[in-house]
């Protein structure tokens, strides 16, 4: 048994030494260099013929918040507790305020709107604010105060609501240790 093991070991060592001779090594490396030079990759579109269109990256950036407060606009004078934050739309000067609450909300003076991504939502507009409320699940409701620049622009408001729903709906399944996302793609 030891004899077979010794023969196997000597045979492997002999093959290694023969295959690693300086002449063989030079041949192997020289062959690879030649092959690398001969295999060229060409593009289907010439570089000068195509310039990609750069899309502006729009996002909502949390400027302040991530704290509990009392009082949510649009529900008369109240002491409803909510987790709040203020987001700036990149490239804009105005901010969007949000409140995330577990309180029961009574929608007096609000209008029920078409569902957005299967979420029930309500709107309310007056002289001082343009608000939307979205029921995220059986516990959490998101209230958004749109900036005056978006007033009356329903498609932009809906896009903003969808952005918030996409990032906050998963987080709303938590009952503690919540935090509003720092950046939301918009």
Q: How many domains does the chain have?
A: 2
User: Is 23 in the same domain as 95?
Assistant: no
- Domain assignment present for residue 147? The answer is yes
pTM to 2 decimals?
0.67
pLDDT of 37 over the 60 cut: no
- Domain assignment present for residue 53? The answer is no
116 burial (CB, 10 Å; 0-12 / 13-18 / 19+) is middle
User: Is 17 in the same domain as 77?
Assistant: no
User: Is 93 in the same domain as 176?
Assistant: yes
**Strands ordered across the beta sheet of 183-185:** 111-112, 121-125, 130-135, 141-146, 95-101, 81-89, 59-70, 183-185
Average pLDDT over residues 111-132: 86
User: Is 28 in the same domain as 68?
Assistant: no
User: Is 25 in the same domain as 64?
Assistant: no
User: Is 86 in the same domain as 141?
Assistant: yes
What pLDDT digit, counting tens, does each position of 57-93 carry?
Answer: 688 999 998 899 999 999 988 999 999 999 998 888 8
- Domain assignment present for residue 52? The answer is no
User: Is 13 in the same domain as 74?
Assistant: no
Structural domain for 76, as ranges: 59-185
Backbone angles phi and psi of 24, in degrees to 5: -65, -40
Q: Are 178 and 101 in contact (CB under 8 A)?
A: no
User: Is 87 in the same domain as 156?
Assistant: yes
> Which pLDDT belongs to residue 54?
59
User: Is 145 in the same domain as 70?
Assistant: yes
44 burial (CB, 10 Å; 0-12 / 13-18 / 19+) is exposed
The contacts of residue 7 (CB under 8 Å, 6+ apart) are: none
User: Is 103 in the same domain as 29?
Assistant: no
Give 111's strand partners. Answer: 123
Distance, in Å, from the CA atom of 31 to the CA atom of 26, rounded to the nearest integer, reads: 8
Q: What percent of the chain has pLDDT over 70?
A: 70
User: Is 73 in the same domain as 139?
Assistant: yes
CA 136 and chain centroid, separation: 18
Distance, in Å, from the CA atom of 134 to the CA atom of 118, rounded to the nearest integer, reads: 10
- Provide the H-helix boundaries in 39-153: none
Longest alpha-carbon distance in the chain: 98
Name the one residue in this structure whose structure tokens are 């507009």. Answer: 125
Average pLDDT over residues 4-19: 68
Give 70's strand partners. Answer: 81
pLDDT of 31 over the 70 cut: no
User: Is 94 in the same domain as 18?
Assistant: no
- Domain assignment present for residue 43? The answer is no
Residue 61 CB neighbours (<10 A): 15
């Amino acid at each position: 048994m030891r004899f077979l093991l010794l023969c196997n070991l000597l045979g492997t060592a002999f093959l290694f030494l023969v295959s690693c001779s300086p002449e063989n090594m030079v041949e192997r490396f020289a062959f690879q260099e030649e092959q690398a030079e001969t295999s060229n990759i060409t593009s289907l579109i010439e570089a000068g013929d195509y310039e990609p269109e750069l899309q502006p990256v729009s996002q909502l950036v949390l400027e302040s918040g991530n704290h509990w407060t009392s009082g949510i606009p649009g529900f008369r004078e109240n002491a409803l507790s909510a987790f709040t934050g203020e987001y700036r739309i990149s490239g804009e000067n105005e901010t969007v305020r949000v409140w995330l609450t577990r309180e029961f909300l009574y929608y007096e003076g609000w209008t029920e709107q078409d569902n957005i991504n299967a979420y029930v939502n309500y709107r309310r507009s007056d002289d001082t604010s343009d608000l939307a409320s979205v029921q995220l699940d059986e516990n959490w409701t998101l209230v958004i105060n749109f900036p005056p620049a978006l007033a009356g622009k329903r498609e932009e408001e809906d896009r903003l609501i969808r952005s918030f729903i996409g990032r906050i709906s998963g987080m709303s399944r938590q009952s503690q240790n919540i935090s509003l996302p720092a950046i939301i793609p918009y």
